Amino acid sequence: MRKIKVLIVDDHTLVRDGIRALLMLAADLEVVGEASNGREALERTRQLLPDVVLMDLAMPIMGGLEAMRRIRKEFAGTRIIALTQYDDSEYVIPAIEAGARGFLTKMAAFSELATAIQAVHRGDSYLSPTAAAALVEERQHMAGVDGDRDTYQSLTEREREILKLVVEGYTARQIADMLVISPKTVEWHRASLMQKLNIHNKMDLIRYAIRKGVILL
C-alpha cells in the first residue's frame, strides 16, 4: 500500500519536529519534507509533490493563506490542512476559502490529525469540532443579518421614512408637519413598522436603525 506523502509547513522547528515524530507512528503516512514559510512550502510542493500539506497560517515571508491559494491553483491534486493554534471563524473561513480541505488546531490529538490526513487524501473534508462549531455560529449570525435585511424590505417606503425620523428624535407632530400628514397617521405607521420588526421600544428601534445603517453614529 502506497503511503500518504505529507509536507509539514510551520515556522517553528520544534512544532515541525513534534508533528514529524507523531506521523512516523502511522504506518500509512510518510513525511516527505518540511518548510518554514509559505514560499518554501510552494517550492517543496513543486519538488516533492506531496499528497497532503499541513499548513500553519501565521508565518514570515509568505503566510499560509497565500501559500494555500497558490498551491491550490498549481496543484489541484494536493490537499491542504490548516494547522494552527486558533479555531474561531476569523481563521477558519479564510483558510477554507483559500483552499484548505481540513482545519485543525495544534492542540489536536495525534489520532485526530491522522484521521484528518486520511480524510482529505481520499477527497473528503475534515474540521475539528471547535472549527465546525465556529462555522455554525458564523452561519447563524449571517442568517440573523439576512433576517434583518428581509424584515427591512417588508417595510413600505413611508414606514422607512418615518423610522428614520423617529430614531433621529423627531416627535409625531414634527414628523406630521414635515410629511404633511396627521400625527395620528404618523403613530399608525410607527406602530405598523414596529410590529413588522418585532420591536417594542424606542431604544431597540434605535439599535436596529444603527445596525441597518439607517442612521450613523
Check if the beta carbon of residue 117 is closer than 8 Å to that of residue 52.
yes
Examine the domain organization and report whether 73 and 159 are in the same domain: no
Examine the domain organization and report whether 159 and 96 are in the same domain: no
What pLDDT is recorded for position 139? 60
What pLDDT is recorded for position 210? 79
Does any domain span residue 103? yes
Q: What is the CATH number of the domain that holds 200?
A: 1.10.10.10
Does any domain span residue 158? yes
Cα separation, 116 vs 19, whole angstroms: 14
Question: Could you report the per-residue pLDDT of 46-71, keeping only the tens digit for each?
Answer: 999 999 999 999 898 999 999 999 99
Examine the domain organization and report whether 58 and 163 are in the same domain: no
Cα separation, 103 vs 161, whole angstroms: 46
Q: What is the mean predicted confidence (pLDDT) over 117-122? A: 94
Does any domain span residue 121? yes
Does any domain span residue 216? no
What pLDDT is recorded for position 66? 92
Range of the domain at 113: 4-135
Identify the band that residue 116 occupies on the pLDDT scale cut at 50, 70 and 90.
very high
Count how many domains the chain has. Answer: 2
61 HSE (CA, 13 A, CB side): 13
Examine the domain organization and report whether 123 and 159 are in the same domain: no
Output the average pLDDT for the chain: 87
What pLDDT is recorded for position 137? 67
Does any domain span residue 87? yes
Does any domain span residue 143? no
pTM summary value: 0.64
What is the H or E stretch that residue 103 is in?
A: strand 102-105
Please check the confidence at residue 115 and state whether its pLDDT lies above 90.
yes
Question: Could you report the per-residue pLDDT of 194-205, keeping only the tens digit for each?
Answer: 888 888 888 888
Does any domain span residue 142? no
Q: What is the CATH number of the domain that holds 107?
A: 3.40.50.2300
Does any domain span residue 114? yes
DSSP state of 82: E
- Ranges of H-type helices in 99-128: 110-121
Identify the band that residue 109 occupies on the pLDDT scale cut at 50, 70 and 90.
confident
